[in-house]
Structure 1
């Protein structure tokens, strides 16, 4: 069985072109490198280099084995990095849960950036609009949204506040018109919710304004609700950070005070100070908050542009 130090000497000579260059790269003397190459060739029963006045050139066998030696080198580096990560307490898995709409719109780019910084931490994402039991161990950390967090022993960091308003698609507005007043909702198709979404304050408020009319369609997740509105199925309450920045949607109301909510990142008390969870929380919190600020700025710009366009249209109608 050959020694890893012999393989390092082999790679150094192959890359440097001579035992002298390899010795400098490895920080050992030239005799040691030459002895290791000779030992490796003896163990393999192969000549790996053609030696000459100008240095050492790989033989056909040497060229073929070079790629395999580089694989061993990478495996050794990975092994060392993982061992170091375990010493620091960073290596391991984090089970994260979030709703579909948060995961797809906010978390995916954040997780990609976190992975670049902490490749030894594996983040397993569980997408569910049902709140998993963090205290019971169904997940380690969660992004929770709502008007309040229920009392618990979980540790929470607030991420952002959200507003909601009613929206329809531009196609729906062309076909049916957008409601000019809340009283008009009774004459429009409304998309309702199922399960927990049916009892959400924004949904309850919309149907109360419409006099309790029956929904034209139903969705059981916020992600599906967004796509249903965008597809033209009807009107529904959506987060302004998503609705206002979408060119495919038309806003149909002011913000809904009853529906205003917030989001938090929550985890168990005994996990919050573990190195990998601390790294994750310290990365995700400011990343998510910056992302929300950028979305807010875009939404504000889109609202201003929409108001300018409405003003221009009104002037044209008046002049006509």
Structure 2
């Protein structure tokens, strides 16, 4: 290979890649944690080094030019290779000190992880922890997190997973709301109840109806993507919501709806990239989380 013919800076190529994926300099700057002006200079510098125009401004955003679109796939391959190199290097690290990123849903990040992380910090003060709150599955292959707490088993071959238990999801409401419903005692009594949904796809309705509730979309006048907002609506007596029983039973503001109703069961998995499993720090935190979540 003629190394002298390669005359561009990888940092500038990364700036181009992230800007293309985010659709704007401001979004890319947030993703990379750099100033927007710095990122803009890097993109302009790459355009100068390559002798092509990569973006054209459309409204408040940016659109790839034909040249930028053609070069994007090559830069994306470079980004994936850089990610694999970083993963492999981190996987070889035997240092216990350093940072680690854990991804979890709002519910787990708020209610389950804080006491576990506090205990971890007392035992391993050299490990700095970042918690990423995401109700969607973080992409571990693209380094959005080192470890993820999920409610489904991953299918990607380059991820490792350990099931740490099963959780029971139970219906909750305030005592006043249950009284307004006339103290329902059978599943069919909830046909007149109102629920808070955190699901745009209607999967919650299907799951509830497997329990014999016979609900329709009219039973879900409240919708939010935030599990924390959902739970606060339940605590304020607005409707019925569903939550992990370990968390719901500990809240004195609510009680179980139809306590004899069979709960919805779902698994709890810990997931990490396969190469990260060879890192002493990642392995220590992974095993610690597994032990604590099993409790």
Question: TM exceeds 0.5?
Answer: yes
* Unaligned 5+ runs, structure 1: 1-86, 291-320
Q: Partners in 1 of 2:254 and 2:111 — Cα distance?
A: 17
In structure 2, relative to structure 1, the CA distance for the partners of 1:243 and 1:100 (3 Å cut) is same
Q: Partners in 1 of 2:154 and 2:102 — Cα distance?
A: 19
Are 1:207 and 1:213, in contact at CA under 8 Å, matched by a contact in 2? no
* Unaligned 5+ runs, structure 2: 1-92
* Larger RCO: 1 or 2 (CA < 8 Å, sep 6+): 2
Instruction: Please tell me the root mean square deviation across aligned C-alpha atoms, in Å.
Output: 2.5
Q: Partners in 1 of 2:208 and 2:226 — Cα distance?
A: 12
Are 2:191 and 2:213, in contact at CA under 8 Å, matched by a contact in 1? no
Partner of 2:226: 221
For residues 244-282 of structure 1, what are the alpha-carbon distances to aligned partners after superposition, in whole Å with 9 as ceiling and x for unaligned?
Answer: 33332222234446x310111110000012110111122
- Where 1:112 maps in the other structure, the secondary structure is helix
Partner of 2:289: 284
Q: Calculate the TM-score normalised by the size of structure 2.
A: 0.61
Are 1:134 and 1:268, in contact at CA under 8 Å, matched by a contact in 2? yes
Partner of 1:187: 192
- Superposition pairs for residues 241-252 of structure 1, below 5 Å? 241-252=246-257
Partner of 2:18: none
Partner of 1:91: 97
Are 2:172 and 2:248, in contact at CA under 8 Å, matched by a contact in 1? yes
* 1:264 equivalent in alignment to 2:269: yes
Q: Which has the higher helix share?
A: 1
Partner of 1:167: 172
Candidates 101, 110, 123, aligned match of 2:107 = 101
Are 1:169 and 1:248, in contact at CA under 8 Å, matched by a contact in 2? yes
Partner of 2:203: 199
Q: Partners in 1 of 2:261 and 2:163 — Cα distance?
A: 21
In structure 2, relative to structure 1, the CA distance for the partners of 1:131 and 1:93 (3 Å cut) is same
TM-superposed CA distance for 1:131, in Å, is: 1.0
> Bigger radius of gyration, 1 or 2?
1
